[in-house]
Amino acid sequence: MSDQSRPVLDLAGWVAYFGAANIPVLRHTEQQLAELRDKAHKANARTISSVILQDPLMTLRVLAYIEAKRSKTRLTDITTIERSLMMIGMEPFFNDFENLPMVEDHLKGHPRALLGLLKVIGRARKAAHWAREWAIHRHDLDADEISVATLLYDFTEILMWCFAPGLALQVADRQKADRTLRSVAIQSEIFGVPLFQIKQALAQTWHLPQLLMTLMDPQNAEHPRVRNVKLAVDLARHSANGWDDAALPDDYRAIEELLHISHETLMHRLGLDLPAVPTDSTATNR
């Protein structure tokens, strides 16, 4: 796939390609980790994880790495970045995550694709932030798991922007031209297979934690934790089209039901509450 746009038209082909790819990270991530490496004696798992969790690609690399290094005696999955770092150790982490390829270099000849990629990453960050806030409000036992699952929800779309920018642009242009088209149909036509199938297959190939995959599967939407993830992803995706997107009222109602809060409270939390209308008396006093 030297032109970074030619499709592999079956699921096995995409999985083999991504499975062998050296996944790049954001330049800002590499720079921040380099700064922490220089003062590694002061760095701790929480500080490093806060950097990693701003970058879905780096998050994906760390989770795949920890599973690849999994010992036969470890029976439980590691589902958060902070616990992954504690398992790896600070020094081994800095040794094994040095001089990483960077997205900005990888897509140097594809400026539109780089912009598209950064938009999706920004959307993922926003969704993860909301999902974590809502999980804390719901007294979830592990808000970090919710945040990681939300951040990685669209990781196959991010990988397509990295490694098949021409195809990713075609999908984005089709969706922009007609928002009534189903994403699965467009993806099947252009990528040859819908992204959720690639996500499931890659998760198995990389042995990503089953709990995270369960949280990312909308078929489990009867569970509040899964709804927490999916609603944050939906809100981020729809609001990226503008806060007048037609799908948002349904999102709001579902979120209010999940969190047991009023519409006014939700609008306030999202920073969308309307300014107070001045009364006649306040207007007179101005």
Q: Tell me the backbone φ, ψ of residue 208, rounded to 5 degrees.
A: -65, 150
Pairwise pLDDT comparison (83 vs 283), residue with the higher score? 83
Q: Cα(221)–Cα(102) distance, rounded to whole angstroms?
A: 35
Contact 170, 190 (CB under 8 A): yes
d(CA 81, CA 208): 12
Q: What is the pLDDT of residue 42?
A: 77
Instruction: Give the pLDDT score at 280.
Output: 52
Percent of the chain with pLDDT over 70: 91
Express each pLDDT in 213-234 by its tens digit: 999 999 999 999 999 999 999 9
Confidence at 72, pLDDT banded by 50, 70, 90: low
118: tokens are 């950064």
Average pLDDT value over all residues in the chain: 90
Do residues 116 and 172 make contact, with C-beta atoms less than 8 angstroms apart? Answer: yes
Task: Pick 275 or 233 by higher pLDDT.
Answer: 233
Split at pLDDT 50, 70, 90, the class of 283 is very low
Quick one: pLDDT at residue 43?
82
Give the integer Cα–Cα distance in Å for 44 and 270: 32
pLDDT for res 286: 45
The pLDDT value recorded for residue 71 is 63
pLDDT of residue 274: 63
* Residue 76 pLDDT: 75
pLDDT in tens, 145-204: 999 999 999 999 999 999 999 999 999 999 989 888 889 999 999 999 999 999 999 999
Please count the CA atoms within 13 angstroms of the CA of 104 that sit on its side-chain side. Answer: 6
Choose between 213 and 5: higher pLDDT. 213
> Average pLDDT for residues 35-57, to the nearest whole number?
90
pLDDT at position 284 is 46
Q: Report how far apart the first and last C-alpha atoms of the chain are (Å, whole number).
A: 66
How confident is the model over 94-149, as pLDDT tens digits?
Answer: 999 999 999 999 999 999 999 999 999 999 999 999 999 999 999 999 999 999 99
